[in-house]
Amino acid sequence: MFTGIITGQGRVAQCQRKGGDLALKIHAESLDMHDVALGDSIATNGVCLTVTRLEGSSYWADVSAETLAHTTLSQWQVGQQVNLEKALQPTSRLGGHLVSGHVDATGEVVAIWPDARSIRYRIKVLPELMRYIALKGSICVDGASLTVTGLDADEFELSIVPHTAQETIMASYQVGTQVNIEVDQIARYLERLIAPQNVQSEPKVSSLTETFLAEHGFMGRRR
């Protein structure tokens, strides 16, 4: 689990294609790596990656075909900057919102404009994803926990203050930039809990009958 509060930035050092998936090396120059061990999770542009090898201030991770299909990771190039966050500890402050690192889909930056000292971004997503996005609610974009400031049929807006722009890769976004989107987990689970069950399995008929028990010596035979 993560908070969506970016604690460092890194860059893609190597991308090695391996039998349909990917081995990725991230140089985490600004992330405190002293307590990172093999098997730990690091959110990399919002994608939960498991550390498979450590090399100084860099880490390696394997990326499955499933992750490549649903995130921007398949488009990453060597030298690209990424947002980083180590996994949440029980003693950590929950400054953002609970983030799993399991990306729902990608989105596209469609507009950018200044708003006093802040920067406004408009991001387009799949229409079916919009039902999980609420005005003033939380959303995770490339691993950063952000507040939704505007909504449309298939777009939402963000207002990014100077500190967030400085501490994340958002200042580098341009119109057309693809980003990883993770919606608020509460919205997903709430929908699942209250939605009618559209598919109901047929009740199973038990084969454990009195005749079966009698034939196998568990009770006297029926007369």
Residues of the chain with CATH 2.40.30.20: 8-86, 105-194
Query: Which pLDDT score, from 0 to 100, does residue 221 have?
Result: 47
DSSP helix/strand/coil, 62:
strand
Q: Looking at the predicted structure, is the pLDDT value of residue 200 above 60? A: no
Two tokens, residue 162: 């100077």
How much of the chain is helix, strand and coil, in % rounded to 5?
Answer: 20, 40, 45
Q: What average pLDDT does this structure show over 198-212?
A: 54
Distance CA 61, CA 195 (A): 37
Cβ-based neighbours of 100, under 8 Å, separated by 6 or more = 1, 2, 48, 182, 185
Q: How far is CA 81 from CA 11, 51, 167, in A?
A: 4, 18, 12
- Sign, Cα dihedral of 77, 179, 5, 66: negative
pLDDT digits (tens, 9 = 90+) for 127-167: 999 999 999 999 999 999 999 999 999 999 999 999 999 99
Grade residue 191 by pLDDT with cuts at 50, 70 and 90: confident
CATH of domain 105-194: 2.40.30.20
Q: How many CA atoms lie within 13 A of 114 on its CB side?
A: 3
Q: Where are the alpha helices (DSSP H) in 111-199?
A: 162-167, 185-194
Query: Which pLDDT score, from 0 to 100, does residue 214 have?
Result: 63
Task: Fill in the amino acid letter for 153.
Answer: A
- pTM of this structure: 0.82
Listed in order, strand segments (DSSP E) in 40-143 are 41-44, 47-55, 58-63, 81-86, 105-115, 118-124, 138-141
Which position has the higher pLDDT, 211 or 12? 12
Pick the CATH number of 8-86 from 2.40.30.20, 3.40.50.2000, 3.30.2080.10, 3.40.50.10860: 2.40.30.20
Q: What average pLDDT does this structure show over 171-181?
A: 97
Grade residue 209 by pLDDT with cuts at 50, 70 and 90: low
Distance CA 49, CA 150 (A): 31
Distance CA 63, CA 71 (A): 11
DSSP 74: G
